[in-house]
Amino acid sequence: MNEASTIFALSSAPGRAGVAVIRVSGPAAQAALEMMSGPLPKPRFAAYRTIKHPTTGEALDRAVVIWFKAPSTETGEDIAEFQIHGSRAVIAAILSALGKIAGCRLAEPGEFARRAFENGKLDLAEVEGLADLIDAETDAQRRQALAQTAGSLSKIYESWRTRLIEIAALTEAAIDFSDEGDVSASSFAEARKRAASLQKEVAAHLDDGHRGEILRDGFRVALLGPPNAGKSSLLNVLARREAAIVSAEAGTTRDVIEVRLDLAGLPVIVSDTAGIREAANDIEREGIRRSLAAARDADLVLWLTENYESIPPLSFSRETSLEIRSKQDLGFESEISGLAISAKTGAGIDQLIAEIARRAHAAVGSGTEPALTRARHREALENALKDIGVFLNGPADAIELRAEDVRRAAHALGRITGRVDVEDVLDQIFSRFCIGK
Ligand SMILES: Nc1nc2c(ncn2[C@@H]2O[C@H](COP(=O)(O)OP(=O)(O)OP(=O)(O)O)[C@@H](O)[C@H]2O)c(=O)[nH]1
Ligand SMILES: [K+]
Ligand SMILES: [Mg+2]
């Protein structure tokens, strides 16, 4: 990336809208704003201007412009913002005009966020929170992402890292005073005492049933059962649309079909799957393989059957599965104790939705404590925990090695917020953003 370059992009969603927002960030933002809209407005005050082409002077739009002066801006650089009419033609004309200005070029995906990170406006965990906030589909996801982008997780991880640095200092002191046996021993004992209490906190944070990750990625429910049990019919009722094909022919569904639902603010992903039986052919066999894979990945498996004959050929644990009797309107005799539903009449559907929501809530918890949201963080925390374990249990006479354990643990934590060298993960994180963020 060329540091000196000024970037611009459409920051609002592409397509026709009342208003579209184009942002320009970098040293040439001021020149761009002046060339296209006249004298620089007072910082952070909206000005209504005619937007002109920088070379031809042609009027392109009448729009609101705002000037943000570095360094108190989102990227830490000068930013010019154009709030223009949201038609494809106006957007295209202004983007093309900006491209004519020396030093200005179209931004890469996530480049605004990357500059914010590089200028110390956001740390990496906060950047990831921002990405999640942009992707949030439900209220609970929004809350978790907003807290993360405001630093809720960074605070915890940074405070742990600070404590590790203190533990490292105590260990170093133990090395320095190794001639004075008592001082050295007590310093090292204090370091280990503190490491033991930190170990407990990190372990408790890791042992959270993946609630933050489930909230971020969605609570997964798989619909399984014999062919013609009414799985696709149930999916359509839950989705309130004809998401899957329903027919009287057994073996209709082959691919896994997913719909995303917002159940009481929680993201729930329901997968309809191929009916489980001795497969008639290769396509069906592959469908069944996919059903079983969906069941394995699910947080909850709904086993749907019309009657008692169809006992699950697989074993799912009580906590993660639920037996449901389908086609309740047909009035079959059944020994299935679970809920009875009818996709046709709607009987039992509200109870089923309430039960799924109850389980999803139980899986993500109360949400009062900030939860781990990403595998990347989990990996770093597990590494830190491993090193703390070695620090606590490794031979105390090899004290230089023990100091090294603590440094490694601190380094692992530093990777979460990007306090230490993290070049290897940056591209991966920022390229996930859309252009304009
Ligand atoms: N009476 C009644 N019929 C239903 C109900 N639910 C589904 N059916 C019928 O049962 C048949 C099979 O329904 P599907 O939803 O395709 O069943 P499925 O489990 O997805 O079947 P496969 O994809 O083939 O495994 C269709 O003819 C549906 O109309 C119900 O609640 N009541
Ligand atoms: K069917
Ligand atoms: Mg089906």
Instruction: Check whether residue 204 and residue 234 sit in a common domain.
Output: no
Q: Residue 25 sits in a domain of what CATH number?
A: 3.30.1360.120
Q: Which of 348, 364, 380 is the last residue of a domain?
A: 364
The closest-lying atom of ligand 1 relative to the alpha carbon of residue 275 is 25
Q: Is residue 377 domain-resident?
A: yes
Instruction: Check whether residue 98 and residue 164 sit in a common domain.
Output: no
Q: Which ligand is nearest to the CA of 248?
A: 1
Distance 293 CA to ligand 1 centre (A): 22
Q: Which residue is associated with the tokens 């389908």? A: 326
258, 269 contact by CB (below 8 A) = yes
- Structure confidence at residue 181 (pLDDT): 78
129, 416 contact by CB (below 8 A) = no
Query: CA-CA distance, 137 to 51, in Å (whole number)?
Result: 35
- Structure confidence at residue 3 (pLDDT): 47
Q: Which of 347, 364, 381 is the last residue of a domain?
A: 364
Q: Which residue is associated with the tokens 């609970």? A: 140
Q: Tens place of pLDDT for every residue, the chain, 437 residues?
A: 444 599 999 999 988 999 999 999 999 999 999 999 999 999 999 999 999 999 999 999 999 999 999 999 999 999 999 999 999 999 999 999 999 999 999 999 999 999 999 999 999 999 999 999 999 999 999 999 999 999 999 999 999 999 999 999 999 999 988 788 787 889 999 999 999 999 999 999 999 889 999 999 999 999 999 999 999 999 999 999 999 999 999 999 999 999 999 998 899 999 999 999 888 899 999 999 999 999 999 999 999 998 755 555 566 666 688 889 999 999 876 665 679 999 999 999 999 999 999 999 999 887 677 889 999 999 999 999 999 999 999 999 899 999 999 999 999 999 999 988 778 888 888 888 888 88
Instruction: Check whether residue 219 and residue 306 sit in a common domain.
Output: yes
Instruction: Check whether residue 99 and residue 170 sit in a common domain.
Output: no
Q: Shortest CA distance to 28 belongs to which of 114, 98, 94? A: 98
Q: Shortest CA distance to 419 belongs to which of 77, 76, 72, 122? A: 122
- Bond prior to 395 in cis (omega within 30° of 0): no
Q: Is residue 285 domain-resident?
A: yes
The closest-lying atom of ligand 1 relative to the alpha carbon of residue 251 is 24
**How far is C-alpha 296 from the geometric centre of its chain's CA atoms?**
21
Tokens standing for 347?
């009987």
Instruction: Check whether residue 189 and residue 155 sit in a common domain.
Output: yes
Radius of gyration of the chain (CA): 29
Q: Shortest CA distance to 133 belongs to which of 125, 141, 124? A: 141
Q: Is residue 58 domain-resident?
A: yes
- Angle at 242 (CA atoms; ends 239, 243), nearest 5 degrees: 65
Q: Residue 329 sits in a domain of what CATH number?
A: 3.40.50.300
Q: Shortest CA distance to 320 belongs to which of 303, 342, 307? A: 303
* Predicted complex ipTM: 0.99
Instruction: Check whether residue 169 and residue 253 sit in a common domain.
Output: no
Q: Is residue 67 domain-resident?
A: yes
Q: How far is CA 265 from CA 302, 321, 362, in A?
A: 21, 22, 13
* DSSP-derived 3-state class of residue 71: coil
Q: Is residue 65 domain-resident?
A: yes
Tally of structural domains, the chain = 3
Strand partners, 67: 80
93, 60 contact by CB (below 8 A) = yes
- Structure confidence at residue 311 (pLDDT): 53
Tell me the three-class secondary structure of 399-429, residue by residue: HHHHHHHHHHHHHHHHHHHCCCCCHHHHHHH
Instruction: Check whether residue 232 and residue 354 sit in a common domain.
Output: yes
Residues 6+ apart with CB under 8 A from 417: 123, 124, 125, 126, 154, 157, 158, 161
Q: Residue 203 sits in a domain of what CATH number?
A: 1.20.120.430
Q: Which of 308, 338, 364 is the last residue of a domain?
A: 364
Instruction: Check whether residue 246 and residue 348 sit in a common domain.
Output: yes
Distance 254 CA to ligand 1 centre (A): 14
Instruction: Check whether residue 155 and residue 198 sit in a common domain.
Output: yes
Q: What share of the chain is helix, strand, coil (3-state, %, to 5)?
A: 45, 15, 35
DSSP-assigned letter for residue 252 = -
Burial of 287 (0-12, 13-18, 19+ CB in 10 A): buried
Q: Which residues surround ligand 2, an ion (CB under 5 A)?
A: 228, 247, 252
Tokens standing for 216?
């971020």
Q: How far is CA 118 from CA 111, 113, 423, in A?
A: 10, 9, 11
Tokens standing for 61?
């739009």
Q: Which ligand is nearest to the CA of 324?
A: 1
- Structure confidence at residue 308 (pLDDT): 55
Instruction: Check whether residue 219 and residue 204 sit in a common domain.
Output: no
Instruction: Check whether residue 223 and residue 356 sit in a common domain.
Output: yes
Pocket test for ligand 1, best of 224, 228, 285 (most atoms within 8 A of CB): 228
Q: Is the C-beta atom of 247 inside 6 A of ligand 1?
A: yes
pLDDT, tens digit, for every residue of 226-280?
999 999 999 999 999 999 999 999 999 999 999 999 998 899 999 999 999 888 8
For residue 264, give its domain range: 215-364
Instruction: Check whether residue 221 and residue 340 sit in a common domain.
Output: yes
Q: Is residue 75 domain-resident?
A: yes
Report field, pTM of the whole predicted structure over 0.90 = no
